[in-house]
Each structure stands twice: as structure tokens, then as C-alpha cells.
Amino acid sequence: MRLPVTRAPGPDLEALRSRFMERVRRDLVALGEAVEAFESGVRPAEDVHAEMRTILHRLAGSAGSFGWPEIGLRARRFEERLGERVEGRADPLLTIARWRAEIAGLAGLLPETPGQPRPSHAAGG
């Protein structure tokens, strides 16, 4: 029987994490731009919502795998609240200001140096 040859992910994983974190930063910029477009009315609301939901869904499903579960959970909550508004179960608090606060909250979870986990995420090695 041939046993699988395995090794620790090491530097390969760290490179992927750095690349992923750069994408998260771009995603947050895109979310901010989408909110601006919604506020100014230059794009249909449905398009803006769809773009935001796509970004947030992707974040929610991936951030935990790269070692940032809090980002994923927060993105999931944002996605769900955005969905409530889109589907007519509007939360009156979920205004443009609220969306900006959600985006700022996500940004606050990012490591200060790309690719480096915040201290609270580093536990467990």
C-alpha cells in the first residue's frame, strides 16, 4: 500500500494568506464604492446589492479557511442583513450609514501588516 506523501504547508500557506488578505482589502474598497454608487444613484440598487452580496458571500465562505474566522463571521452577518433589506424585510437601522459602519467593522479586523495575523488570531500556532 502506498502511503500519501504529505508535508506541512509552511511558507506556501503564508504566501496564500498574504495574497488573500490583499484581496480582502480590495473587496472592502469595492464595497465602499458600491455604497457610494447606491447613495448617489448612479447604479441601480439591485446591481449594487447583488455586487455587495457576492463579495460578502465569498468573504464569508473563505476568510475562515485562511485563518480569519472573525472576518468571515462578520461578513456573513452583513450579508444576511443586506439580504433582509433586499428581500423586503428591511431593518430600518440598515441604512447607508449602517453599511458604512459594517464595512468599517470589517476593516477593523484586518491585520495592520498584510499577511500578518492580528495577535488574537495567532493563538494555536
Q: Which residues bind other proteins (CB under 8 A)?
A: 3-9, 12-13, 16, 19-20, 23, 57-58, 60-69, 72, 121, 123-125
Nearest residue (CB) to other proteins, 86 versus 100: 86
Nearest residue (CB) to other proteins, 14 versus 96: 14
Nearest residue (CB) to other proteins, 12 versus 33: 12
CA dist 88 to 30, 37, 71, 95, 110, Å? Answer: 24, 21, 26, 14, 31
Nearest approach, Cβ of residue 78 and other proteins (Å) = 14
In SS3 terms, 89-124 reads as CCCCCCCHHHHHHHHHHHHCCCCCCCCCCCHHHCCC
Residue type, 80: E
Nearest approach, Cβ of residue 8 and other proteins (Å) = 7
Nearest approach, Cβ of residue 16 and other proteins (Å) = 6
Nearest approach, Cβ of residue 53 and other proteins (Å) = 10
Give the HSE-up count for residue 70: Cα atoms under 13 Å, Cβ half-sphere: 13
